[in-house]
Amino acid sequence: MSAAFDVIIGLEVHVELKTASKLFCGCSTAFGSAPNSQTCPVCLGMPGVLPVLNREAVRLAVRSALALNCTVRPYSKFDRKQYFYPDLPKAYQISQYDLPLAEYGWVNIRPSGQDVKRVGIRRIHLEEDAGKLNHLGQRLGDAVGSLVDLNRAGVPLIEIVSEPDMRSAEEARLYLTELRAVLSYLDVSDLRMEEGSLRCDANVSLRPRGYTGSLEELPRVEIKNVNSIRNVQRGIEYEIARQAELLSRGERIVRETRGFDDVSGRTYSQRSKEEAHDYRYFPEPDLPPLVLQSEWIEKERAALPPLPDAIRQDLIARGIPDKDVEVLVLDREAYQYWKEASPAFSDDRLLVNWMLSDVSRLLNAQGRTFGDCPVRPRQLVELLTLIQEGTLSGRMAKEVLDAMFETGQDAKTVVKQKGLSQITDESALMQVVQRVLEAHAHVVEDYLSGKDKALAYLVGQVMKETRGQAKPDLVNRLLKEAIRGGQTVSG
């Protein structure tokens, strides 16, 4: 990237709210049903029908706005955003234009090696989703036709518009990751990018050094509807390089909307970018303004769960390493698993360590998450307690965990069945130690003549005889005692 430009990035994120019914009618919002089976005259845009606002959608939107540090407006209103497209039967979308639900929020991000950076949120508004077109063919270009599915038409959405505060594709990735984490703790959406319940458009422009005009006037390219956070990052990286190349050749950047091809990693031109005035917004005459009582807003604020920033502080205070804290905080299911296990176990570092290494490895191998982990938090605690008590070595515990994953059995059951467990009976172990000493008399002599390494060899022999079931530190002590004792006898 040439140093002659600053990168300016703003993101628009659409989040489908997890309500049972649509924003303005009683139709179900369930994903994956037969096409057009969840429709009615209201969401089909029949003449003469009237929308009725879904109270739960307003509550989830307000909850999201408060968690993202926004000011919720006591008075907002709905507007019609007018455009024609086959997935929009009314030929307008009910949205909010000049008086959105909430404004002036922020999200903190942590670029590596830098201080915490605050990314502003300009506004959050409530709107309805459009339907979906299913193209008959591999891609739009060679489709022989398109089928309209209006199940999604009227599903409640919030649009979260950031300030143009991000300066790299990495910062955009961190912002999206943090935003998703905050929303996941609120339980307001499924947040599945691949199913479209979380969608992101990225606005990218390059500002020449020394430019004094407003950011709004810079030619801006919008990358539309990318299906994963990783691809948002790739799309932005490509776009920065493409625009830098054009500018360095003295060419102009065209204000436009571009798609992203995840196979080639490139963006491609779709259409020239529309402006707000192209939509001819006007106030929705069929809905009264949305008036929210401040007592009600404060009640929702008080009901917010602990959010990522507070959770981070708590975990760090418990001595969990920063790197592990980040993994736990960004995965709500992992955090909830830890939260359930932690009160029953005294060593948080050991617990988190096992969760994020061995348990995660087995979950990944089975394509599972902590939410449906076959080993429940209580069962993991039992296993780790066996390590703490000295019944199992770390290596044996891994073997037990594998079996627990496969069978769903408790640790103690697996230990019994496999005949595992460390030999902690000193007299039983002493017999093995004596046998090893007799069989390796010359190694004992080496040790007595000052070769400390010889002892490690003897420990290894005892571990071999006991098939790894002895505690190495106990073996060590017994060997020293036996050798000393033998000296006294022979001396």
CB of 54 to Zn ion, least distance (A): 11
**Cβ proximity to Zn ion, 52 vs 241, nearer residue:** 52
Q: Which is nearer to Zn ion, 27 or 362 (CB)?
A: 27
Under 8 Å between Cβ of 21 and 11: no
Residue 210 CB, nearest approach to Zn ion (Å): 54
In what helix (H) or strand (E) does residue 102 lie, and over which residues does it extend?
Answer: strand 102-109
Query: Nearest to residue 95, comparing CAs of 130, 142, 71?
Result: 130
Instruction: Tell the smallest beta-carbon distance from residue 26 to Zn ion (Å).
Output: 7
User: CB of residue 19 vs Zn ion: minimum separation in angstroms?
Assistant: 13
Q: Which residue is listed with tokens 């947040």?
A: 191
Distance CA 96, CA 353 (A): 46
Taking the least distance from each CB to Zn ion, the nearer of 43 and 381 is 43
Please list, in sequence order, all residues whose beta carbon lies within 8 angstroms of the beta carbon of residue 384, skipping any fewer than 6 positions away. Answer: 345, 347, 350, 351, 354, 397
Cα–Cα distance, 245 to 243 (Å, whole number): 5
In the complex with Zn ion, which residue's Cβ is closer, 126 or 433?
126
Q: Measured from the CB of residue 47, what is the shortest distance to Zn ion in angstroms?
A: 15
479 token code pair: 């060997």
Q: How far is the CB of 40 from Zn ion (least distance, A)?
A: 3
Q: Which residues contact 44 (CB under 8 A, 6 or more apart)?
A: 89, 150, 153
Rounded distance, CA 335 to CA 355, Å?
Answer: 10
Q: Give whichever of 43 and 359 is closer to Zn ion, judged by the CB atom.
A: 43
Whichever of 126 and 329 has its CB closer to Zn ion, that residue is 126
Where does residue 295 rank: exposed (0-12), middle (13-18), buried (19+ CB within 10 A)? exposed
Please say which residue, 43 or 240, places its beta carbon nearer to Zn ion: 43
Query: What's 279's DSSP letter?
Result: G
The rounded distance, in Å, linking the Cα atoms of 199 and 15 is: 7
- Least Å distance, CB 92 to Zn ion, is 16
User: Of 40 and 423, which has the nearer Cβ to Zn ion?
Assistant: 40
Closest by Cα among 331, 22, 321 to 177: 331
99: contact with Zn ion by CB under 5 A = no
Nearest Cα residue to 63 out of 248, 197, 189: 189
Of 39 and 243, CB closest to Zn ion: 39
Q: Shortest gap between Cβ of 188 and Zn ion (angstroms)?
A: 21
Instruction: Collect all residues with Cβ–Cβ distance below 8 Å to 65 and sequence separation of at least 6.
Output: 72, 101, 102, 105, 124, 158
Minimum CB–partner distance for residue 28 and Zn ion (Å): 9
x/- map, 17-56, Zn ion, by CB under 5 A: --------x-x------------x-xx-------------
C-alpha span between 219 and 446 (Å, rounded): 80
Minimal distance, residue 90 CB to Zn ion, in Å = 12
The count of chain residues that interact with Zn ion, using the rule CB under 5 A, is: 5
Distance CA 187, CA 366 (A): 25
Alpha helix (H) ranges present in 389-471? 394-407, 411-418, 426-439, 441-448, 453-465
Nearest to Zn ion of 26, 288 (CB atom): 26
Where on the chain is the footprint of Zn ion (CB under 5 A)? Answer: 25, 27, 40, 42-43
